[in-house]
Amino acid sequence: MAKWYELVTGSLEEKKRYKDLKARQKALPDGYRTAAEGLSRYLMYAGGIDKSDVLLAMLEDLVELFEHSAAAGTPVPEIVGEDPVEFAEDFLTNYDDGRWINKERARLAEAVERATAENRAAGEKPEDER
């Protein structure tokens, strides 16, 4: 029964991990919580991550960063720097494997390869042979 349910709703384990990480985020001190919530929202919208395990790992790493920073007393501006968007974009580069745009980039490259092969098959010479 659980396997059928998970086919419809997704992994129960991943849902539990997500709820746990949101609880950890909510437990952060006020300023840290506000920044972590803002960053996680931005990362979820801008990240375009379609692999749930990668998304969860990214969000867990973000919460862990803010937990450690809060424990060490590191001010939020020292964590994110002068440009929080730049920080978020740099943070995202660590999770490129799960981004949907990578699939689209691969599809585009494959389409151009197919088009090139089709042109050659139709007798059109490559540009460097003209």
Tens digits of per-residue pLDDT, 1-17? 556 655 566 678 888 99
CA distance 86 to 80: 8
Q: At what angle do helices 12-26 and 30-47 cross, to 10 degrees?
A: 140
| Whole-number pLDDT of residue 9 | 62
Tokens 């803010």 sit on residue: 66
* pLDDT for residue 38: 97
What is the pLDDT at residue 115? 92
Going by C-alpha positions, the residue among 51, 21, 14, 53 that lies closest to residue 36 is: 21
pLDDT in tens, 64-123: 999 999 999 999 999 999 999 999 999 998 887 767 777 888 889 999 999 999 888 888
On average, the pLDDT of the chain sits at 87
What is the per-residue pLDDT for 102? 76
Question: 126 falls in which pLDDT band (50, 70, 90)?
Answer: low
Query: What one-letter code names the amino acid at 88?
Result: A
Question: What percent of the chain shows pLDDT beyond 70?
Answer: 86
CB 28 within 8 A of CB 74: no
